[in-house]
Structure 1
């Protein structure tokens, strides 16, 4: 029998034929050809004709690309015991955009990176196919409130609760201060319930509840609880005033068997600023105690978009076998898993991740919730979230991910790294809050700042310092990742930046054993060495709440992801003390800060200058004829950050990195007073002679000799006189 050389007839049993390869994941690659080759072969091959038809149904994705430049591969997977059946045919298309003039780094066929288009060909549960490479596919529910959809939701939750120790609920939880009661006398009954507060036990009443994470948008038409509406809402909230997204959240909550639902717009009094601020500071409890957070992940706003987005249904292709019998093949684009997956392959350690993890426009164009800063903190705090996206439901929990297509956590089908910051966050909190007792048993501790003192009291002298140091290092590294991700996302009000991250800090505080002021852990001088990824997009944040965001805090900068240097190869004897807290581990000032004092052995006056064009400026610091490059926090410097050519600044060196660079803070005297403001960060890799462009540059360490000639022994920095600077 003649077998098509292009597609091997899409038959698994022909895997021994020439041209059939086995991939690293064990899949059989049956096709590796251009779209033009498949079109040519389709005139005499039923299998190629089927492939061509399914691919061309998605032609809008590559309509401006030549068929000869579109590479098609098709893989069939071997059945593996214990793994959910995936008998579909995976078809990938790759092409080079015509406007892309860069050289592709790939093999001779252009197989580089994630495919431009990834399709699956499959039959339904009872369907038969004459192509053994095309088997049953996994159905994706289009209506979460129908029987099939509800069954999927319950199965996802059941797997999480039965298999994940970090996700189990060992004790009853208390309700938030206000929740919605969705189990009234009729299907459209919703009322605001104020939880009973037990003064003797200092807690609200027990109860299981669901929370909603969503984008408000312009909030037109979104009902809100205010001092004017609260009394009437306690009696009942008119069903017709609820937008569709909130109605669907109510129905889902009720259908899953829960009575209580928390929605911020209705459970926080929006025009009572003190009350709203107080409750917003407890988001770790509100979302942390929720049984489930349902996320309107694909809704641009909750006023006009549904919680359950319309999903693209698979195409149906009528095919015939060799005897003329008809059968159906379904073709759909495989779920992309959005920014839950990285643009790089699995296997990279978190320290080697490209951060922010994946906030590309392509990844998030259909998941606007993932681009919001408040929603990011809600994701981290919730035990589990059920994301409703345009392609499928995805359950994200403290130990991983599940999805309807079954591929998000299986590297066989999706080799890209999965975002695990939430899981690392949960791990550190779980390990910190479980301490061994004298009898060898393990006890849970309360989360948050109030548990720091009890942990310190229970730490033995022999192993305490080592354990604290290790936990601190892990937690501080994780904190730096979280802030980078958090600042890469949008937030409506500048004044909410420190408020939105406060609950995350509260959860990490036991692991860090530190005070916390305006986003900064008081034990860490290195935490001050933050820097914007792109200063040209930055501005100083505006405070409208009376809370002072100091220049030394990363929260004072808006417009760009913030990165940190938290590891030092050499300490340059710079220390920080917080005047408001004096470094006390119990200090907790999450929304504002004032003066800090920097004491440093290596601090000196330098001269600022700016060269180059307006489109491509260059900023320099010089002293004793030695010049280094400098990156201001705001480019171009303006407003309070304005700098003049010839202006004297202060450079305070903090550390030397493993990159052989020297890092320090650059300060500007404020209004001829004795206090300073941060205006930027210096990272010196090399320095050069002033006015001599032809002379070779010197290594960064030459800066010590030229800027600090009085310091003869770097190993004795702690014994040199210290200069002190008050920074606001």
Structure 2
């Protein structure tokens, strides 16, 4: 009688009770679930376990220093879906988990136990093409193109694009001629085989207020302060219109030129060459048109794995799979490939599950590993370029990934298939595209109203709208969804890096422009003027916050989220109760529909519930410099009439224009009550005369504590009202109480 390996069933379907064509009614079949020491022991007597062990140990550097008793190994294959054909995944997937080992039963060796959670390392074992395998659980694998300029790779990228055009309604451009940017590179200036390129200035059609029609490719890359990047300047403009020497282009640019030609396009847009870098006014104007430049591009090619395009290529070198020799029961040799499965990097969440966007932990995936392999995705400018582009072809260290308005495609075929990878994909681009696309079918504003100053305008209007007016209700719903999406985008955007602080509002302006028809609101310095709730932003980590370094003449007001750098910014966009706080934007509060994307002006903030409070720092700094005290030992509170509330300033420790002294009087303006049973407000610092203030923080009160009383004796947030605002007796009549107004700069 033949002995069957208890650990892996010999990786033979017939020994697992299957005949190779039989289905077991599930998406996958588990072959192995054991510890690494058990696999080592089994490998001495089983050829299949020896193969698995060999492949695992070839990647030992990934878990070096980890106690092997903590390393769990699982192996599974996937059943072909109906109609999968050649797309069927026939590899053997091997997963290793060793992190958070204390949360698992380390002694569990039950083969039926499939450990939950995303693996720390995923490997795949496969054969080449139709190569024979001594183990029926290991079949042909997906081949990754080594050089994107090879004919097979170009054909694959075209196939990805064609599938997008044929099957995605929101991505199709049939019958919609596109307009070239003001300047593009002509990559066919010297013919198909020539390396010559030149800068082409588009012909402007004055009657139609547009440049000439044409389809083009755009490049998204990191260059920042990189040296050696060729630039178009006022001095080189005329010479670049004649010819740009190919030898002066960095490798990433050269590869962009060849790929553009290979895909059949003539025009290529690269920022450093198509924007005149030392024409400050023109560069600013063009920078505010990124929605047109990237939005009209047929394709954006992204140097996603290059942290510096002056020295790194567009197409990063790819690691080749290890080849292991394995013998069958007759002693014949076979080659099995082993490689790390494409991880899909920052496009996938760092956790399993299919949670809705509202339940995600933001920023979506800024893990150290993801950032290491996809440095482009942690930059702010490329983030907006990615959102605005109809489709982006990412070049990573493992494969090509096409991201479009309706989803993702990749060479390995797994990125958007939960069967192979249950982690959710980043859907912000798809949600953004959906909101923008719906604008074309949007009803016009009632009575031409394009902006509202009421803080809770959406909530208030929804409550007062006649139910028969379905179109208006739908308008408010979409507007509310767009505002929530905007808050997600800003959180992701502010988690990313900018070379220049002065670009903070410039780089996001085109996103705001694209959402403007949906939100139907003024927009000033990053703030939609119809919603005072947008002022309730806060840095996720105030200890990392700083105020931006701006050039002369720039003004980012303290009330804008763009006035804080260094930490992702979060928002409070929903309100259970409007506390009669209003904001008026623009000169003298008369420009609610103003559009000032990169300049800020004072806000007139008025509220019925505004009170002078005293700032306390415990323990107080040991010197006049707040930064001399270790932050984790410092707590901040606001007090009035013996009632104290915890408070986190926007910048911790408070310094510079945000400097606060213990015992200093501040103003707290209550804005709303939330569905979390908390009270949220803004904290203002007086700047002297003329009733002028600057924001120094936002506070959220869940509970308040009488001074001198232990924390355990805290009272609910509502107790704050009677202590800080004893004159207000009826909360439902706040609009009728006297209002105080503050000019916030």
Q: Which residue of 1 aligns with 2:76?
A: 75
- The CA distance in 1 between the partners of 2:390 and 2:711, in whole Å, is 60
Matches within 5 A, 1:81-230: 81-83=82-84, 84-96=87-99, 103=103, 108=108, 111-170=115-174, 171-185=176-190, 186-230=193-237
Corresponding position: 1:430 with 2:437 = yes
Q: Is the 8 A contact 1:578 1:595 kept in 2?
A: yes
Q: Which residue of 1 aligns with 2:279?
A: 272
Unaligned residue ranges in structure 2 (runs of 5+) = 445-449, 452-464, 622-628
Matches within 5 A, 1:260-659: 260-435=267-442, 462-544=469-551, 546-580=553-587, 582=589, 584=591, 586-612=593-619, 614-615=629-630, 616-659=633-676
Distance 1:347-1:617 versus aligned 2 partners, 3 A rule: same
- The CA distance in 1 between the partners of 2:605 and 2:108, in whole Å, is 57
SS in 1 for 2:349: strand
Deviations 1:426-449 (A, max 9, x none): 001111222479xxxxxxxxxx99
Aligned length: 702
Task: Give the Å deviation of 1:217.
Answer: 4.4
Q: Which residue of 1 aligns with 2:67?
A: 66
Q: Is the 8 A contact 2:204 2:212 kept in 1?
A: yes
- The CA distance in 2 between the partners of 1:655 and 1:106, in whole Å, is 49
- The CA distance in 2 between the partners of 1:427 and 1:415, in whole Å, is 24
Identify the range of structure 1 (371-380 vs 25-34) with the bigger mean alpha-carbon deviation. Answer: 25-34
CA RMSD of superposed structures (Å): 2.1
Task: Give the Å deviation of 1:43.
Answer: 1.6
- The CA distance in 2 between the partners of 1:554 and 1:707, in whole Å, is 27
- The CA distance in 2 between the partners of 1:353 and 1:433, in whole Å, is 29
Q: Which residue of 1 aligns with 2:709?
A: 692
Q: Is the 8 A contact 2:442 2:475 kept in 1?
A: no
Q: Which residue of 2 aligns with 1:677?
A: 694
Q: Which residue of 2 aligns with 1:662?
A: 679
SS in 1 for 2:273: helix
- The CA distance in 2 between the partners of 1:528 and 1:358, in whole Å, is 26
Deviations 1:440-476 (A, max 9, x none): xxxxxxxx99xxxxxxxxx999444312211111000
SS in 2 for 1:193: strand
SS in 2 for 1:405: coil
Deviations 1:61-101 (A, max 9, x none): 1221233321110001111123321010000011137xx8x
- The CA distance in 2 between the partners of 1:344 and 1:302, in whole Å, is 31
SS in 2 for 1:351: helix
Distance 1:675-1:96 versus aligned 2 partners, 3 A rule: same
Unaligned residue ranges in structure 1 (runs of 5+) = 438-447, 450-458
Task: Give the Å deviation of 1:583.
Answer: 6.5
Task: Give the Å deviation of 1:695.
Answer: 6.4
- The CA distance in 2 between the partners of 1:583 and 1:158, in whole Å, is 50
SS in 2 for 1:364: helix
Corresponding position: 1:722 with 2:723 = no
Task: Give the Å deviation of 1:649.
Answer: 0.4
- The CA distance in 2 between the partners of 1:607 and 1:716, in whole Å, is 27
Distance 1:377-1:180 versus aligned 2 partners, 3 A rule: same
Q: Is the 8 A contact 1:214 1:302 kept in 2?
A: yes
Deviations 1:355-396 (A, max 9, x none): 000111111111110010000000000000000000111000
- Equivalent of residue 243 in structure 2, options 224, 227, 236: 236
- The CA distance in 1 between the partners of 2:647 and 2:24, in whole Å, is 48
Q: Is the 8 A contact 2:529 2:593 kept in 1?
A: no
Identify the range of structure 1 (339-348 vs 562-571) with the bigger mean alpha-carbon deviation. Answer: 339-348
- The CA distance in 1 between the partners of 2:738 and 2:589, in whole Å, is 21
- The CA distance in 2 between the partners of 1:569 and 1:471, in whole Å, is 19
Q: Is the 8 A contact 1:513 1:585 kept in 2?
A: no
Task: Give the Å deviation of 1:547.
Answer: 2.5
- The CA distance in 1 between the partners of 2:237 and 2:269, in whole Å, is 15
- The CA distance in 2 between the partners of 1:601 and 1:106, in whole Å, is 60
- The CA distance in 2 between the partners of 1:65 and 1:579, in whole Å, is 59
Distance 1:380-1:184 versus aligned 2 partners, 3 A rule: same
- The CA distance in 2 between the partners of 1:211 and 1:334, in whole Å, is 29
Q: Is the 8 A contact 1:217 1:302 kept in 2?
A: no
Task: Give the Å deviation of 1:674.
Answer: 1.4
Q: TM-score, with normalisation over the residues of structure 2?
A: 0.91
Q: TM-score, with normalisation over the residues of structure 1?
A: 0.93
SS in 2 for 1:715: helix
- Equivalent of residue 254 in structure 1, options 253, 261, 266: 261
Task: Give the Å deviation of 1:125.
Answer: 1.1
